[in-house]
Amino acid sequence: MEHYVDGDVSLDTSGDQKTDYSRWRLMDEQGRQSWRYLESDEERADWPQTTFEKHFLGLDTANLPKAQTPLQAAQGAMSYFSQLQLPSGQWASECTGPLFILPCVVIAGHVTGSPLPAAYAVEIRRYLFARQRVVDGGWGWHAEARRSSAIGTALNYVVLRLLGAGRDDPRLVRARALLHELGGATHAPGIAKFWLCVLGVMKWECVNPFLPELWLTSDSDPAAPSKWYLHTRTNFTSMSYVWSKQWSYGGDAVTEQLQAELYTQPYNTIDFAAHRGSLAAVDNNYPKWWLVNLVNWLTVTVYVPYLRKPATAESAERKVWDLIVAEDRNTEYIGLSPISKAANLVACYFHEGPDGSSVRAHRRTMTQYFWMTKDGMACNLSDGIQVWDTSLGVQALAAAGAGAKANPRFQSTLVRAHAFLADHQLLEDIADQDKCHRWPRKGGWPFSTRYQGYMISECTAEGLRSVMQLQEMSHLHLAQRIPEQRLRDAVDCLLNLQNDTGGFGVYEKRLGSPKLAWLEMGEFVGKTMVTYDHVECTTAAVSALLSFSKLHPDYRAVEIETTTAHGLSFIKQSQKPDGGWHGAWGVCFTYAGMFALEALALAGETYATSEASRRGCDFLLDKQKEDGGWGESYLSLRQEEYVQHEESQVVQTAWACMALIHAGYAEREPVKRGLRLIMSRQQSKGQWCQESLEGGIGHGVISYSNYKLYWPIRALAEYVARFGNEQL
């Protein structure tokens, strides 16, 4: 397939097409983000590129003098970070990492006649080639994977071919050879097989069942989908509709060629049913329980051919279709994730046809997931992390004195951020939330925007803390303060999220038994069935509730005291014997340790008074590197013990320094050494370079591209508040 781009196109150092980066603009429609390529010189002249666009694209911006003190370093970074604020008041960000997500969206667009803009295709090719592993020509399942996988190699090979790369490109020749070494596409995990069937380059007999009849079971059934982890049940819903219909794309010249390229034998000779359970060893990180394999076998060999009644299948399909319609309506066709959005688009295309209203709505929102980087165009894990970044950015700026009367240049930044957070608080629950299997969300905040609308515990906690912090700055000229009742709604939302363990999950309480883990079907990723408690979710909720109760001591005082006490107990029980806390959404012990020690400190437990705090500090101090920094490998996520990174990392050093400061660790020298490293790596514009990816997902990584900006600001500022602005 050829993709033609109007506007300047050149060749990069690898000989691939590259668009003119001066033509890219970031659209910001009340927080909803999408990239647009300006094809005419007139458009480019009329719409100048901003600092934030240049930043994301890796283009040059103005320099600043070298900082000599922590406050100078923080203020320089503040100046740079404030320029990245978008008109709606939020901060945009790259949130990428897993390499199997982008193909879902590209394949869905291809089969539904919803092609991406030509400039997107050019830059997606560049991005995927930049992420190809030099050592063997494949792709891992995430960006920093130490080995290639069948899922990453099969799906990204397909995307490159769909977007115009030739089969004889030497890089694709290597990728194809590796895929064949792994057994071919028949040995990819189930989610890859699903999308290859949708594309029409694999037969449905190769896919384990996504049986929609599971949604006909009673909610009281211990294995009912309504009790599964949110992302799993949402993805399953739309995928089960497509699986039940056994719908595949009719084909074109490229898909016909792919049928010959993806396998180790001619396509028409493959016994696809025999490969339903085939899986490359490198992808089999979480082997399925024997009972799951047995149920899959019984479903496809007994139930479907002999026992499945058409009326039952139709009833199940109606049920999941209603859930798809509700999900699209409740998220304004954005979806919970790129995977669920892509599957919903395919389901709508089948159900309503190519010109259906839901198909058109999905096409309008498709580009909200894509993100431009200096290496090309990636796909974010969500439609952005606007609320999350804005909340944490506000806290960093406030710590650095952005709201002080002496800093009027930054006050407007905070005012706009407050307006954004006020605009994106979730003011109502979802209509028919029980039928939609949605948790109460009133008062909460989402990861991205109110349009997508999924409440997250951490975002609610940090959003509440940030708003309270801003509204305590009496000299800020806020357009409209958030009423106290809405702050109370946020507290109500948090109090409704605590599990019986004392811990908090991400989206909702744990609805099913932990034994649902026996039904794990992720294959290459694990922990996909149960809503788990997380240290960082729990610490965020506890910190927010403690902060609220200090300002509003009379509201639900007993419940807040009980909840925070239970949460603190969970935090202490989660501490490992060596003193560390294992994090899930950041790398890893450093990340969780920062949040845990802050929550303990807010409860009055510091290094001087608390054994848990002392053990946490001593754990981090033991990991400090010779250069003064901290650096932790993402391998800690899988191994559940601290694994040293080869080099110190700026973001993790900021986390460790903040943890020690929060805990009231008396000796300043370890923190000074860490801050010296941070300051030594500050760039001439006040920013820091991207190092290893900071976020975690399963045992892989996510990029939170603003972490390298606001976490160092906050660490530097909190040092100054505690020890003074001495030259380091």
Helix (H, G, I), strand (E, B) or coil at 520: coil
pTM beyond 0.85, yes or no:
yes
Helix (H, G, I), strand (E, B) or coil at 697: strand
pLDDT of residue 353: 96
pLDDT of residue 628: 98
DSSP class of residue 587? S
Both tokens of residue 480?
């409209």
Contact between residue 226 and residue 334 where contact means Cβ atoms under 8 Å apart = no
Helix (H, G, I), strand (E, B) or coil at 10: strand
Q: Tell which phi-psi region holds residue 449, choosing left (phi > 0), alpha (psi between -120 and 50) or beta.
A: beta
- DSSP letters, 430-464, are PTTHHHHT----TT--BSS-TTT--B-HHHHHHHH
Contact between residue 329 and residue 435 where contact means Cβ atoms under 8 Å apart = no
- Residue 294 burial (10 A CB sphere; 0-12, 13-18, 19+): exposed
pLDDT of residue 1: 44
pLDDT of residue 3: 56
Residue 510 one-letter amino acid = R
pLDDT of residue 62: 67
Helix (H, G, I), strand (E, B) or coil at 406: coil
CA distance 369 to 447: 13
Contact between residue 394 and residue 413 where contact means Cβ atoms under 8 Å apart = no
CA distance 251 to 260: 13
For residue 299, give Cα distances in angstroms to 207, 236, 304, 305, 584.
Answer: 12, 16, 6, 9, 34
Question: All domains of the chain, ordered by start, with CATH?
Answer: 54-84+578-727 (1.50.10.20), 100-379 (1.50.10.20), 382-391+432-574 (1.50.10.20)
Both tokens of residue 497?
């999220």
Which residues, 6 or more positions from 580, have their beta carbon under 8 angstroms from its beta carbon?
589, 592, 593, 616, 619, 620, 642
Both tokens of residue 49?
């590129």
Output the CA torsion sign for 710, 337, 458, 636.
Answer: negative
**Beta 24-29 vs 32-37: how paired, if at all?**
antiparallel
Helix (H, G, I), strand (E, B) or coil at 47: coil
Both tokens of residue 213?
């009849």
**Regions of the chain with pLDDT less than 50:** 1-2
Q: What is the pLDDT of residues 384-422, one digit of tens each?
A: 999 999 999 999 999 999 877 767 889 999 999 999 999
Secondary-structure percent of the chain, ordered helix, strand, coil, rounded to 5:
50, 5, 40
- 55-72 as b/e, with b when 16 or more CB fall inside 10 Å? bbbeeebeebeebebbbb
For residue 425, give Cα distances in angstroms to 142, 444, 459, 704.
Answer: 32, 6, 10, 22
